[in-house]
Amino acid sequence: MSDPDYIVEIQALAEGTVSDSAAALTGRPWVGIRFDCCGVYTRVYRNADGTAYLGNCPRCLKKVRLAVGSEGVDSRFFRAQ
């Protein structure tokens, strides 16, 4: 019996031969945002300064900014209304 179509194996990941640039992308800090305006979910990545997570709705381009601070929260998923 063959494997289901929805299973994807990436040989480089299995062998540990992922390039440095690909490895850097997988470690980039992000939070998940559900935009209620359009009912879509996306990841929002931390800016280069490390001071905030900046992004926008992929449909209507509504902006969102989450500040990074010492009194922050542990949650990685949020809703933008």
Q: Report whether pLDDT(23) > 50.
A: no
Count how many domains the chain has.
Answer: 1
- What does the pLDDT read at residue 45? 93
Phi (first) and psi of residue 4, to 5 degrees: -60, 155
Q: Could you tell me if residue 22 is inside a domain?
A: no
Q: Could you tell me if residue 13 is inside a domain?
A: no
The domain of 36 spans 29-80
Q: Could you tell me if residue 5 is inside a domain?
A: no
- What does the pLDDT read at residue 59? 96
Q: Report whether pLDDT(16) > 60.
A: no
- What does the pLDDT read at residue 5? 61
Q: Could you tell me if residue 38 is inside a domain?
A: yes
Q: Could you tell me if residue 20 is inside a domain?
A: no
Radius of gyration of the chain (CA): 17
Q: Could you tell me if residue 55 is inside a domain?
A: yes
Q: How do residues 39-60 score in pLDDT, each as one tens digit?
A: 999 999 999 998 999 999 999 9
